[in-house]
């Protein structure tokens, strides 16, 4: 916990500063930033606590940029569903065939019926499970699909307490971020391109 000195207190007693320092992770491009955002979301970080800092979109993209964003995010979600569908289909078919064969007797129609029903059920479960891995309520994740200006992409994480900071730090340490910094408050970060050298180095969140 960071402390600040209150000039009005006698004896120079320290007073606890509200909140906890927030984190800023710098990435080489939007793709690595998108992967970090997905990791943070899967780790339980609320989508409203994750944001991309600064105007990173190409301002002249216009409607093309909007279409790129919608297309990219839709394709990403579609690929997640397809992958989950395929992953769940095979074990579902095997399980269904074995289960129905054991209970109703082994025959070609029974095995095919069990495999079909099991594949359908497994595909549904796999597709649903894959969607649970997608970031939820994270607008910054969608922004990474838009046309971006060249340069680093900074992802900010709001940390309400030391526990949240430790959780976010663990994710950022193994993500594609090349530099991690901390700031007193993301709302105080200036608009425009950010330089990691202008921010405080990362320190271990204390409990």
In a domain, 2, yes or no: no
Express each pLDDT in 81-116 by its tens digit: 788 888 888 888 888 888 888 888 778 888 888 888
User: Would the pTM of this model clear 0.75, i.e. be above it?
Assistant: no
Asked whether residue 127 falls in the same domain as residue 82, the answer is: yes
Decide which of 132, 158, 175 is a domain's last residue.
Answer: 132
In a domain, 47, yes or no: yes
Asked whether residue 91 falls in the same domain as residue 125, the answer is: yes
In a domain, 13, yes or no: no
In a domain, 8, yes or no: no
**pLDDT band for position 62 (50/70/90)?**
low
Decide which of 132, 161, 178 is a domain's last residue.
Answer: 132
pLDDT in the model for residue 133: 66
pLDDT in the model for residue 134: 64
The count of structural domains within the chain is 2
Rounded CA separation 33/43 (Å): 15
Asked whether residue 52 falls in the same domain as residue 152, the answer is: yes
CATH number for position 45: 3.30.70
| Residues 6+ away with beta carbon under 8 Å from 72 | 145, 146
Rounded CA separation 91/22 (Å): 43
Range of the domain at 89: 78-132
Q: Which helix (H) or strand (E) holds 179?
A: strand 179-183
pLDDT in the model for residue 66: 62
In a domain, 156, yes or no: yes
Asked whether residue 83 falls in the same domain as residue 183, the answer is: no
In this structure, what token pair is assigned to residue 88? 């769940």
Rounded CA separation 40/151 (Å): 22
Asked whether residue 124 falls in the same domain as residue 95, the answer is: yes
Q: Report yes or no: 147 and 63 within 8 Å, Cβ to Cβ.
A: no
Rounded CA separation 122/94 (Å): 10
Asked whether residue 124 falls in the same domain as residue 156, the answer is: no
Round the average pLDDT of the chain to a whole number and report it. 74
In a domain, 90, yes or no: yes
In a domain, 84, yes or no: yes
Q: What percent of the chain has pLDDT over 90?
A: 1
In a domain, 176, yes or no: yes
């Amino acid at each position: 916990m960071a402390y600040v000195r209150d000039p009005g207190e006698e004896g120079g007693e320290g007073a606890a500063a509200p909140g906890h320092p927030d984190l800023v992770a710098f990435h080489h491009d939007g793709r690595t930033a998108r992967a970090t955002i997905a990791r943070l979301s899967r780790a339980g970080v609320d989508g409203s606590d994750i944001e991309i800092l600064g105007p990173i979109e190409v301002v002249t993209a216009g409607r093309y940029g909007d279409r790129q964003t919608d297309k990219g995010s839709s394709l990403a979600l579609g690929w997640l569903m397809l992958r989950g569908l395929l992953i769940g289909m095979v074990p579902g078919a095997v399980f269904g065939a074995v289960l129905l064969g054991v209970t109703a007797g082994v025959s070609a129609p029974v095995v095919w019926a069990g495999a079909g029903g099991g594949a359908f059920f497994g595909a549904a479960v796999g597709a649903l499970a894959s969607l649970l891995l997608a970031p939820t309520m994270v607008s910054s994740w969608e922004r990474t699909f838009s046309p971006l200006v060249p340069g680093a992409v900074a992802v900010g994480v709001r940390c309400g307490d030391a526990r949240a900071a430790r959780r976010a730090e663990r994710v950022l340490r193994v993500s594609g971020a090349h530099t991690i910094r901390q700031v007193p408050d993301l709302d105080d970060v200036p608009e425009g391109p950010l330089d990691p050298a202008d921010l405080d180095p990362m320190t271990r969140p204390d409990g």
